[in-house]
Amino acid sequence: MRHDHDSLAHLDKAHVWHPYTQMAGYNERDPLIVVEGEGRKLKDANGRWYYDGSSSIWLNVHGHRVPEIDAAIRAQLERVAHSTLLGLANEPSILLAKELVDLSPEGLNKVFYSDSGSESVEAAIKMALQFFANREGRGTKRHRLLSFEAGYHGDTLGAVAAAPVDTFHWPFKRVIPDALRAPFPNVYRSGKDPQETTRDSLAAVERLFEEHPGEVAAAIVEPTLQNVAGIVVAPEGFLGGLAELCRGHGVLLIADEVATGIGRTGRMFACEHEGVSPDLMALGKGLAAGYLPLAATLTTDEVYEAFLGTHAEKKAFFHGHSFTGNQLGCAAALANLKLMREAGVLEGIPEKERIMASRAEAVREHPYVGDVRYKGMVLGIELVVDKKTKESYPWEAQVGWRVCDRAREKGLLVRPLGSVIICMPPLGSTAEEVSEMMEILTEAVWEAEGEIRALAEGVLSGDRGAYAARERA
């Protein structure tokens, strides 16, 4: 039985609590209800098609209804949908583990499965902390994490503890331990050149290591770029310098590749841009091509072997999830990685990156565009109140939605992060599709100029009523 838009909208507002959504505003609007996908587009319940310009929140690799991945899932369904990985094994998880080890930076030989990026990060943090507890005893000094300001690693409590974002996580700060925080090298905000910005960040890391000798178990970082911070691209040399500092101080390095991995930055893994092999690497999002919940934490033989022992020692990694190593998800991931090779997805990214960059650079002259940042098939356009002072819009202004609403009217679905407009097309998009998406996005930025200016004037005048956005998602 098919339902029309109005009946679905009524049921949605009556029963569904949406993530990262202010429901008071959402319930005042007519929702966009997705009913179908094809290629790089999604169709709503009213029959209108839109480009999936955020890859369904950074997940989708090839598009929707991809024949090769559909077939792999159907074939696996004809065998078995799921069996536990607790003490048992299954064929797709074994084959995928071997594939991931072969693709990953050298030394990452062990694969632990979970269901989401937050959970893969959670597993990596727990592995790092227990690694030292298993080797040095329960009284080990190495019990702290080092992370980076404005970073984001997920919404489970361990991931939140590593990088709490005040806007999202303020109610939970009293129940999580404090991580040491260093500045991420944000060239736009620092006002310095890339080399000096990088030196300042690494110097802060080293200072924290020295101020807390022997206390830091692991440093966790989003390699190459911070996503939720607004697509902040680190200068070349930062990741390599961080890895060197970690080695020198006996600290494990966790690379959070949940958003940057599986080709998003132009390499299979962002760590490859600087030849870094982390001690632990968290994967999620694009691993199963946006089809099914699947994540993985990869680590070294050294970390793995610290968990080996007798039952009496209780050194095992007592952590897991009901759907760990799910056969359907692993089958989708295997088909995804195979298709990436056969279709030359990575080889096609440079051309599409150039298209995104050239189109985006054209909006730098917009009076309220402060910066444009990109890497691979990731783009961020930052709106500011004043280009000279770089003053940001307050969160409640929700200025980014002024552009995203215009883009939606034109057939492109993108979602902002505060004042930063994010565009992440599926990696398998054609050059023509990327060009069309960028044309819509840049037109939306210019067409929203009047609304953006009104918000800026409200901020500068101190008139909150003039800049407070209507309540919405």
Judge if 5-65+345-467 and 70-342 fold alike in CATH terms. no
> CA-to-CA distance for 297 and 320, rounded, in angstroms?
12
Percent of the chain with pLDDT over 70: 98
Quote the tokens at residue 454: 């009104």
Quote the tokens at residue 350: 């440079």
> CA-to-CA distance for 469 and 252, rounded, in angstroms?
43
Q: Is 15 helix (H, G, I), strand (E, B) or coil?
A: helix
pLDDT (0 to 100) of residue 468: 67
- Cβ-contact 110, 301 below 8 angstroms: yes
* CATH fold for the domain made of 70-342: Aspartate Aminotransferase; domain 2 (3.40.640)
Quote the tokens at residue 371: 């910066």
- At which residue do the structure tokens 């280009």 appear? 387
Burial of 38 (0-12, 13-18, 19+ CB in 10 A): exposed
pTM recorded for the entire structure: 0.96
Evaluate if residue 367 carries a pLDDT over 90.
Answer: yes
**Which CATH code, of 3.40.50.1820, 4.10.410.60, 3.90.1150.10, 3.30.70.3270, is assigned to 5-65+345-467?**
3.90.1150.10
Which DSSP letter does residue 111 get? Answer: E
**Overall average pLDDT of the 33-50 stretch:** 98
CA dihedral 166, 168, 170, 171 (to 10 degrees): 180
- Cβ-contact 368, 384 below 8 angstroms: yes
Query: How high does pLDDT run on average in the chain?
Result: 96
Which DSSP letter does residue 151 get? Answer: -
Digit-coded pLDDT (tens) for 90-125: 999 999 999 999 999 999 999 999 999 999 999 999
> CA-to-CA distance for 92 and 69, rounded, in angstroms?
14
Percent of the chain with pLDDT over 90: 93
CB < 8 Å & 24+ apart, contacts of 101-107: 101/298, 103/268, 103/269, 103/337, 104/269, 104/281, 104/298, 105/269, 105/271, 105/272, 105/276, 105/277, 105/278, 105/281, 106/277, 107/277, 107/300, 107/301
Quote the tokens at residue 270: 């962002």
Digit-coded pLDDT (tens) for 10-40: 999 999 999 999 999 999 999 999 999 999 9
Quote the tokens at residue 67: 């024949």
Digit-coded pLDDT (tens) for 428-454: 999 999 999 999 999 999 999 999 999
**Overall average pLDDT of the 304-319 stretch:** 96
Evaluate if residue 333 carries a pLDDT over 80.
Answer: yes
Beta pairing class for 415-417 and 420-423: antiparallel
Digit-coded pLDDT (tens) for 385-395: 999 999 999 99
pLDDT (0 to 100) of residue 465: 73
pLDDT (0 to 100) of residue 471: 45
Domain boundaries, the chain: 5-65+345-467, 70-342
Evaluate if residue 262 carries a pLDDT over 60.
Answer: yes
Beta pairing class for 252-256 and 216-221: parallel
Report the catalytic residues: 20, 152, 256, 285
Quote the tokens at residue 128: 């790092």
Burial of 449 (0-12, 13-18, 19+ CB in 10 A): middle
